[in-house]
Copies of this chain bind each other. A is one copy, B any other.
């Protein structure tokens, strides 16, 4: 059972009930579209299509109340869903939040999650437009993101990487996994201050809004995000596209901070880079120069699978549920 730290004082969901709790959520994440049977989004721009994706976060598995603030959990939920929208080349517009929570959950905790969602969604000019709140034994957040894909260019699916293209990346690699390893060893309070950024990359990953749209506009044909691990996610793109992807070790090698964290934990930072997920770094295949904010990290080949400088990667196995 989830134990909420004492800092989340105040009434619980069981004490205030569903309706008061929903009012708290709506006041922390206000939207004129929220509060009816369903949310009606804006008029679609001509020739646009809706894009939708969903991801669940379970306390103790995808986040821990003793490691992350509720605001961070809300951020993480938004970023992992919005990254999937961006990875199609689309623009996130709205989110829905379904929560199952035990009756002893402090209302302030749920309010914090909503505030984190509103904050991070606001960076995309998106809103929390609806949701559901119910009682359950575990704290489960299920977020759905809805976006808009404008214009007539095809969406950026996993199956359109072509030999000769480069793979370009926007975002960090390995930082989330390093942050998780540090939390696992030290707990949130005791992670050495120099690694704060790694911990934050795990608890509340960031993704600059609009990079997916830029990649699509500048000629990318395939895109995904690093959610299960770099090799695992590029491996799916390679298999679906019927190509190989050869990573340049010099372009993805662990940075100074990862090296220091690796030394401290006696861990190989390459594992974080190659097999660590949840960075939500955008990974696109394009024949052109890297779009603004992206860097080249790999080459699409006529081979199969993912290699590093032509060799089998040292770490490949990514995150798998069950």
| Residues on A facing B (Cβ under 8 Å) | 13-14, 16-19, 21, 35-44, 46-56, 58, 61-62, 83-85, 87-88, 90, 94, 96-100, 103, 129-138, 140, 142, 144-147, 149, 155, 157-158, 223-225, 320-322
Contacts and interface: CB of A to CB of B under 8 A. Distances in A.
**Complex A-B, nearest 5 residue pairs according to Cβ-Cβ distance, in ascending order:** A142-B142, A38-B53, A37-B87, A18-B321, A144-B144
B136 A52 contact: no
Contact of A61 (B98, B134, B149): B134
A182 to B, nearest CB: 24
Main secondary structure of the interface of A (DSSP, over half): strand
A41 B52 contact: yes
Which of A43, A129, A136, A147 has the most CB atoms of chain B within a 10 A radius of its CB?
Answer: A136
A55 B132 contact: yes
A43 B49 contact: yes
A41 B51 contact: yes
A38 B224 contact: no
B37 A224 contact: yes
When all copies of this chain in the complex are counted, the total is 2
A88 B52 contact: no
14 contacts: A36-B155, A36-B158, A37-B84, A39-B51, A40-B149, A40-B155, A52-B130, A52-B146, A54-B131, A54-B132, A55-B132, A62-B134, A98-B142, A137-B138
Contacts of A16: 322
Given A18-B322, A135-B322, A322-B14, A52 B37 contact: no
B18 A39 contact: no
A55 B98 contact: yes
Contacts of A225: 37
Contact of A144 (B14, B52, B223, B322): B52
